[in-house]
Structures are given as C-alpha cells and as structure tokens.
Amino acid sequence: MAEMKLIPYRLEQVLETAGETPQGVELVQAPAVWQESRMGEGVVVAVIDTGVQADHPDLKGRIIDGRNFTTDYNGDPHQFSDNNGHGTHVAGTIAANNDENGVVGVAPKAKILALKVLTADGSGQYQWIIDAINYAVDWKGPNGEKVGVISMSLGGPDDDEDLHNAIKKAVANGIPVVVAAGNDGDDDDRTPEYSYPGDYNEVIQVGAIDFNLKLAPFSNTNDEIDLVAPGVNILSTFPTNRYAVLSGTSMATPHVSGAVALLINATKDYFGRNLTEAELYAQLVKRTFPLGLSGQAEGNGLVYLNLVEKIRESININNTPLGHA
C-alpha cells in the first residue's frame, strides 16, 4: 500500500514577525461570533499532521497534549515537535492566541492535541494515521477533556478499510472529522479528483478559494466536497517562532476545524446540550453561502459564521444567539 502524504502546499513567504488578524480568519467571520462562542474555550482540536511547535509564542498555552506516531525522533512517542512546518501552520490558523501580537486563529481559546503522524518529509504510514485517530477518540485531558474536532490536512490514493472504520468510530463518538480535499485539481470541475480520507462520506471535505472568492485552481473537485474556505496566501504560525504564507487545501481545512470548535460552544449554550456530529454538521452548513460555482467545486459554499445573524438583521429580527435553530 502507498504511504499517506502531506497534501502538497506552496510556501509563498516566510516572515520573522507578524501583527494582524489573518485575512482568512476575517473572511470566515470568526471575530463576529467570538463572544457567543467564547472563542472556542474548552474545545480540543486534534491536529493530525507533522507535529506542532508547542513553544511558538502565538501558541503559548494552546497545546494541551501531543504524541508522536512516526519513526522521527527515534520513535519517541513524547516528542511531537514539528520538523516540517505544516502542522504548526495549521495549528495557528485554528487556535493562535488573541493577544495582539503575531497572528490570531479562528478559535483562539481552543486547545490543540498535536498528533504527529507524518515525518519531516511529509510522509507517513496509513497505520500511523489510524492509530492517531483512535488515540484522539479515546484521549482524555488532565481535567477530563475530550477531543471535539479532528483536523487532517493529508491524503493518499488508497481506500483503506481500517482508516475508514477509524473515521466512522470518531463520528459515532460525536467528533467531526475535517479533511482537506487535496491539491490535484486541474481547474476543471468536470474532471473529478479523489483522495482518501477526503472521499469518505463521513468526513467534512474542504476545498480552497482565494480572497476574490474564486476556486483555487489546485483545489480538488468531486461529488463529496462539503464546503470551501480560504486556502490561498494564508498567513499563520511557522516553526522557530516565525510566520509563513502558504497556499493549499491544507490551509483551508483549519479554518473549518476552528469554525466547528466555535459552533460546539455556541450551540451547546443555545440548546443546553452537546450536539451530535450530524447536528454540528447541519449547523455548519447552515452557515455557508454559495459562490456560484458547481457543487463539485464548492459543495454547500463558503463557511461564513455570522450568516444567520446577517439574514435576521436584514429582516429586522434582533438579539438572536448564534446557535438558533
């Protein structure tokens, strides 16, 4: 069986400093719902990737735990530091601190469970990913925390039954699994491109758009795309305390993972209970709008977290909480 690979991405720029809310975080309207969602506080997002630089200034206090499933660092399970860059970038988009320094994530008070399944060169065994998913489902934090969302910006060519079963287990346990669509697109939505686990119906498969709301030409198109998010020229955290601008569906995915973290809090407060995975997915889709592309390209459309509130404002219905059914 072929290895699982980091979905290729473009490194556009590396920066020593940053001092802004990234444009992608603004585009999905995350700041508009921070109050209602408590910025994702208490929600744990499992980032299954290349590891994370846990002591990056913008991620200080955000990493709740981690584990290494690869052969890197002599297979030491406690060494999950990012020796590639990708995982740190993803983690920053999800949960970088809102401290007016560097960048800020979609859910800046969420916690990250850093599960390293890909080596420095961005490759990993299917079994490592399977083990990490199962670990995330069973994981409990120091205060009884459980994983609320799984984020995976990786893909491979093979449909693997054990991988599929691990994802089904996560979903059955109420955990949405957010996955990058892949960067094999040919800018033609009539010719589908597939990768796994993105092609599994149970996952939330994310395509990429640019800041002009156009589909990124590299974004995979297929009949399992669920929605799209910003994935071109995305600014986020990068190893050795730096920042980087990257492009890829890998960069779109954490915008959605962070969005789900916000919705977990907002909907729990409104409904007075934890929603099922299917209910969370429905709440997420309710906050998308079509961009005029085909369903194979954009699925339900762009995630836009305060869409419900905007609609209600337009018909003069006020004071409606984010989780309103």
Clarify whether 250 is annotated catalytic: yes
Which amino acid is present at 110?
Answer: A
Nearest to 152 by CA among 133, 139, 125, 128: 133
Question: Which residues touch 318 (CB under 8 Å, ≥6 apart)?
Answer: 312
Question: Architecture of 4-314 per CATH?
Answer: 3-Layer(aba) Sandwich (3.40)
What band does 324 get if pLDDT is binned at 50, 70 and 90?
A: low
From the list 81, 195, 236, 250, the catalytic residue is 250
- Give pLDDT, residue 19: 86
What band does 100 get if pLDDT is binned at 50, 70 and 90?
A: confident
- List, for residues 233-263, the tens digit of each pLDDT value: 999 999 999 999 999 999 999 999 999 999 9
Higher per-residue confidence, 309 vs 253: 253
**Phi, psi dihedrals of residue 148, rounded to the nearest 5°:** -100, -30
The token pair at 192 is 């589908």
Helices and strands, counts by H and E, the chain:
9, 15
- Give pLDDT, residue 1: 60
From the list 86, 89, 164, 255, the catalytic residue is 86
Question: Which residues touch 220 (CB under 8 Å, ≥6 apart)?
Answer: 181, 182, 183, 184, 185, 192, 193, 194, 195, 198, 207, 249
Question: Which residues touch 206 (CB under 8 Å, ≥6 apart)?
Answer: 178, 179, 180, 181, 225, 226, 227, 228, 229, 249, 252, 253, 255, 256
From the list 37, 49, 151, 236, the catalytic residue is 49
DSSP, residue by residue, 156-202: BS---HHHHHHHHHHHHTT--EEEE--S---S-TTS----BTTTSTT
Predicted structure pTM score: 0.95
CA angle 158/163/164 to nearest 5° reads 95
**Phi, psi dihedrals of residue 123, rounded to the nearest 5°:** -120, 155
Q: Is the dihedral of CA 198, 202, 203, 204 positive or negative?
A: positive
Average pLDDT, integer, range 123-152: 97
Q: Which of 58-72, 111-125, 310-324 has the lowest mean pLDDT?
A: 310-324
* Percent of the chain topping pLDDT 90: 85
Q: Domain residues of the chain, as ranges?
A: 4-314
The distance from CA 279 to its chain's CA centroid, rounded to whole angstroms, is: 18
Strands 4-6 and 123-124: antiparallel
Higher per-residue confidence, 311 vs 271: 271
Higher per-residue confidence, 102 vs 2: 102
What rounded mean pLDDT belongs to the chain?
94
- Give pLDDT, residue 319: 55
- Give pLDDT, residue 189: 87
- List, for residues 200-210, the tens digit of each pLDDT value: 999 999 999 99
Clarify whether 49 is annotated catalytic: yes
Residue 223 CB neighbours (<10 A): 12
Clarify whether 56 is annotated catalytic: no
What band does 325 get if pLDDT is binned at 50, 70 and 90?
A: very low
- List, for residues 41-98, the tens digit of each pLDDT value: 999 999 999 999 999 999 999 999 999 999 999 999 999 999 999 999 999 999 999 9
CA angle 109/115/120 to nearest 5° reads 120
Q: Is 208 exposed, middle or buried (0-12, 13-18, 19+ CB in 10 A)?
A: buried
- What's the rounded Cα separation, in Å, for the pair 267 and 279? 10
Quote helix, strand, coil % in the chain, to nearest 5.
30, 20, 45
Omega within 30 of 0 (cis) for the link into 142: no
Which residues are registered as beta bridge partners of 154? 6
